[in-house]
Chains A and B, each alone.
Chain A
Amino acid sequence: MRSRLNPYLQVAPLTVVLAGFFVLPIVIVIMVSFFDYQTYQLLIPAFTLQNYIDVFSSSVTYRTYLITLRFCATVWAITLLLGFTLAYFLAFHIRTLRWQLVLFLLCTIPFWTSNVIRMIAWIPLLGRQGVVNTVLHGLGLRDTPLEWLLYSEFAVIVGYVHLYTLCMMVPIFNAMMRIDRAVIEAAVDSGASEWQTLCHVIVPLCKAGMTIGSIFVLAVVMGDFVTIDVLGGGQIASVGKAIMTELSYLQFPPAAANAMVLLMVVVCMIVLLLRIVDVRKEL
């Protein structure tokens, strides 16, 4: 008897937490997304598809998703390249565990301050009279300041890369550290160059790490509404920002519908990733 109950008891705490803090809120959001609303009455229980029709019939939605997806692709590519290179250097070029740990901790130092501060720090650097422009001017390289440094897509990408490269690096580093060194020795002994070892041994063995890192980065960038506002100067749209604006105006049902669509898009992206790489098998 006890042995049959045991597994259920073991999953019970997690089930309760997930049901209360994940399933229930999502169910409520789904319900609200079908509600009607008026300016003076926030939630009118109903079953209307109007909120979804509004989302899908508006050209703004597609344009916003296009912008957000473009950011996603760019940031994903850069953070993957950077994260992989950094992790590779740490895992294979630093010989002692102590120095690996020291350098790894160095990478995390910026994360001791808050997200927002790390974003805002870019403003005096990239501004019209900021450090970069002052230096360029001082060196006589430019007469007029570079305008596109701040409040632009460039600034937003810089911010994202700065914020989220570590999210990509950590799982890849973890995956690399778990690679049996004997495998690499075998590759080298068989005459493989470093490049060949990298392509045929290390990258395939790091796929799980790269996938997990990608999930972090994609999920965060898809839902972001702060970085894009601070570094984009409020001029660039994102799906998260559109939802925020609706929430600010107490338009809960359309915000819920928008949030559900965003959730579905992100879920699809993650499912797709997991189809390509079976993380559980790789781990």
Chain B
Amino acid sequence: MANRIAPPLAPKHLTRRRVLQTTLYSAGLAVGQRLFTGFPAVHAAEPVVLNIAGTGVNQYQQIAAKAKEDLGVTIQYTSLVSDDVVKRAATQPTSFDLLDSEYWMLAKIIPTGNMRGMDVRRITNYERIVPIFTKGTLPDGRAVARQGTAPIKVSYLPEEFAKTFAAEPTQWMTLIPTVYNADTLGIRPDVIGRSIEHWHELLNAEFRGKAAILNIPSIGIMDAAMVAESTGTITYGDKGNMTKEEIDKTIALLIEAKKQGQFRAFWKEFNESVNLMAAGEVVIQSMWSPAVTKVRQMGVPCIYQPLKEGYRAWAAGLGIPRHVTGTKLDVCYEFINWYLSGWVGAFLNRQGYYTAVLETAQAHMTADEWGYWMEGKPAQGDIVSPTGDKIESAGAIRDGGSFWTRMGSVACWNSVMDEDRYMVRKWNEFIAA
């Protein structure tokens, strides 16, 4: 697919028309000139390359190949660890055409003025995006937790090139959501042999030397806060934006646990958590959903355990940097619209992530797949990953249940704290302790 020289005629034709429409929509004058000189549409004539920088979570070659097939656009991924995404967006914004950023990073990126607001009128499925991102609510109207960097707090800009966030939805969106999920603890049910219901089990002496926490300070400290709140030792105003005093207490709790040998390791990268769990080094730890899937694929029992206190959620989306203009900008919009049009949504849902527009994704999934991944129903047949590996057999139920149960139990969102500087210093103290 990827090296085919000329894409089939029909989709190319469609693409041209769509590009022209969107271009017309945005700036009449410019379009006039382009129609006059640029015949046929510019981007179909020359190969268009979109360089997407972001964390690796949703960078799949299959998506790139499909984009090439459907849009004729070549996707190049730059895979970075989350800290480096922020660094790249802040210091080298011209090195990419689309930024795949997590929402919490925006608090650091938007004030640099390197990004542009996206015109929601150009997003075909805008009205169908899950209201978590556009209204801050679940579809039944219940409010989503606002502790931490809840997406709604940073979804909108007051104007196209603003450096601050808008309190209310506007025409200009910072990111169009791509994937999001609700994180919890992963456990080895075969080794633990009893039910785990609370976050404080992470520091239970029963698992001394067999627990792990992730060593990304801003996320690790939130997991620690979930634990601390669960034991009842600390109460927080906002776990996603702690005061110095709250940070001190949380770090003190962690240091005490570390000194008693509670932790086997701290992990930073997805695969490290998989290895810790699969190799039997750890039986309870902070984990990400696809890591749990991977451990299970290796034949090791692992549960993504729902807990009474709720989940720590995160979300990522695509944003367009300020330097992208003209045809390239049109292609970016076209790519984003394609992203929300269903195929990608279905692909990512099958990885265990959630995606922005549910209806379109559902259309690309079987009823059984939809029932298993999204509705918390028992699988009717084998559940297969997009790469063809069998994940579950008939009868299996997704950990944590349906989409609305899981996203409805979110307690806080990944965030950047105002006391970021202080927090990092204290975290280093914890690592050195």
Residues of A bordering B, CB below 8 Å: 39-42, 54, 58, 60, 63-64, 67, 123-124, 127-130, 147, 150-151, 229, 233-237, 241-242, 245-251
Contact = CB atoms under 8 A, between A and B. Distances in A.
Given A39-B420, A42-B90, A64 B432 contact: yes
B298 interface: no
B38 to A, nearest CB: 39
B428 A242 contact: yes
A129 B420 contact: no
Contact of A63 (B267, B418, B432): B432
Contact of A245 (B217, B263, B280): B217
13 contacts: A42-B91, A60-B429, A60-B432, A64-B432, A123-B275, A124-B279, A147-B209, A150-B281, A247-B87, A248-B87, A250-B86, A250-B108, A251-B424
Given A40-B111, A54-B425, A58-B429, 20 more contacts: A39-B418, A40-B108, A60-B428, A123-B279, A127-B279, A128-B279, A128-B281, A229-B268, A234-B215, A234-B265, A234-B266, A234-B267, A234-B431, A235-B265, A235-B266, A242-B431, A245-B424, A245-B427, A245-B431, A249-B420
B264 interface: yes
Interface string B200-224: 0000000001000001010000000
Contact of A151 (B87, B111, B264): B264
A151 B83 contact: no
Given A39-B108, A235-B258, A250-B87, A245 B268 contact: no
A151 B428 contact: no
A150 B212 CA distance: 14
Interface of B: 83-84, 86-87, 90-91, 108, 111-112, 209, 215, 217, 258, 263-268, 275, 279-281, 416, 418, 420-421, 424-425, 427-429, 431-432
A233 B279 contact: no
Given A40-B108, A40-B111, A250-B86, A235 B421 contact: no
Nearest to B418: A39
Given A39-B421, A40-B111, A151-B265, A245 B281 contact: no
A249 B111 contact: no
B428 A245 contact: yes
Contact of B281 (A42, A151, A250): A151
A249 B265 CA distance: 22
Given A245-B424, A248-B83, A249-B420, A129 B279 contact: yes
Nearest to A39: B420
A42 B268 CA distance: 24
A54 B263 CA distance: 29
Nearest to A64: B432
Contacts of A234: 215, 265-268, 431
B174 to A, nearest CB: 15
B421 A251 contact: yes
8 cross-chain pairs, A with B, having the tightest CB-CB distances, nearest first: A233-B265, A234-B266, A237-B432, A248-B83, A40-B111, A129-B280, A234-B215, A60-B429
B371 to A, nearest CB: 37
B421 A241 contact: no
A249 B258 contact: no
Contacts of B217: 245, 249
Contacts of B266: 233-235
Most buried by A among B209, B264, B266, B432: B432
A151 to B, nearest CB: 5
Given A123-B275, A249-B424, A67 B432 contact: yes
A250 B90 contact: yes
Contacts of A124: 279
A129 B86 CA distance: 38
Given A60-B429, A63-B432, A246 B424 contact: yes
Contacts of A247: 87
Most buried by A among B83, B267, B428: B428
Contacts of B265: 151, 233-235
Nearest to B431: A237
Nearest to A59: B429
A245 B275 CA distance: 23
Nearest to A150: B281
B320 to A, nearest CB: 21
A133 B432 CA distance: 28
B414 to A, nearest CB: 14
Contacts of A251: 421, 424
A128 B280 contact: yes
A123 B271 CA distance: 14
Contact of A235 (B83, B84, B263, B425): B263
A250 B264 CA distance: 28
Contacts of B421: 39, 249, 251
Contacts of B428: 60, 237, 242, 245
A249 B107 CA distance: 13
A152 to B, nearest CB: 10
B86 to A, nearest CB: 6
Nearest to A38: B421
Contacts of B429: 58, 60
Nearest to A67: B432
Contacts of A39: 108, 416, 418, 420-421
Contacts of B86: 250
A226 to B, nearest CB: 11
Contacts of B268: 229, 234
A252 B263 CA distance: 30
A256 B87 CA distance: 16
